Amino acid sequence: MEEMEIKDVNGNVLKNGDNVIVIKDLKVKGSSGGLKQGTKVKNIRLTDELEGLTGKIDGMKGIYIKPEYVKKA
């Protein structure tokens, strides 16, 4: 099985367990609020779905983010 390579906005390769920072304000489906620029996403997990990642944020769990909106912390 070939492991996929997902990169952040700066071209750094992301791995399971990394921490990343959101680089711009993002709307979140099903939430009245959103993610502010500079929010830290902890302990990410890479997904096969649309080449994205999931992670934990204070108050939210299992949020899905596209890698072009994050940079490695």
Q: What is the pLDDT of residue 59?
A: 76
Q: Domain 6-72 falls in which CATH fold?
A: SH3 type barrels. (2.30.30)
pTM of the model as a whole: 0.83
Beta bridge partners of residue 21, listed in sequence order? 40, 71
Strand residues in 1-73 grouped as ranges (E): 6-7, 13-14, 20-22, 26-27, 34-35, 40-47, 52-57, 60-65, 70-72
pLDDT of residue 2: 56
- 25 has pLDDT over 90: yes
CB 45 within 8 A of CB 39: no
Percent of the chain scoring above 70 in pLDDT:
93
